[in-house]
Amino acid sequence: MDQTKNNIEAGIDHSTTLKELWDLLGKVNDPEVPVLSITDLGIVRNVNLSQDISKGLVTEVVITPTYSGCPAMDLIKESIRMTLLEHGFNEVRVTTILSPAWTTEWMSEEGKEKLREYGISPPMPKQQVCSNLLFHEQEAIPCPQCNSFNTSLISQFGSTACKALYRCNNCLEPFDYFKCH
């Protein structure tokens, strides 16, 4: 907010540049689920622009990790820098914040659709599965291949931190579920 105020006072309108930046970030893919961009995932929390006397236009991209131990964070930061550099943004700072903690609620509807087409069942709405109760009923997760709800959990932990492993009892295919977080 302060930045906007400063810009208005300085008579600079960054809105076109900001839109370009968000579009560019929408082309940076998550290395572990390459069908999703980092904006689909909802891990880009903010983009700030400021003028520095010696450096010129400085871009700050604020991101948050999906999981504390997400091994893709360093690569994602690098990809952000490279993508923006290719488009003339030479001074880029990538900042990581932890709070508020990332949630699958921030995933875009478009992202969920891409996941389904890719063969990964997208996260269900949060209130259904993120309960802290230990022995709550298991939620029915639809199979991304045949859409059957007749599926069963194999393991709460899958090929990456953000996925669980399921099996479809109808088409017999195993599949990943992008678990609610």
149: which 2 tokens? Answer: 């709800």
Other beta carbons within 10 Å of 165: 16
Alpha helix stretches (DSSP H) within the chain: 2-10, 15-25, 38-41, 73-86, 109-118, 126-129
Does 181 engage in binding with another protein (CB under 8 A)?
A: yes
Nearer to another protein, 53 or 98 (CB): 98
Which positions from 135 to 164 touch another protein by CB under 8 A, shown as an x/- string? Answer: x------------------xxxxxx-x---
Q: How far is the CB of 71 from another protein (least distance, A)?
A: 7
Q: How far is the CB of 173 from another protein (least distance, A)?
A: 16
**Using CB under 8 A, which of 101, 117, 119, 140 touches another protein?**
101
The whole-angstrom separation of Cα 75 and Cα 179 is 22
Pairing of strands 120-121, 174-178: parallel
Binding residues vs another protein (CB under 8 A): 65, 67-71, 97-102, 130, 132, 134-135, 154-159, 161, 165, 179, 181
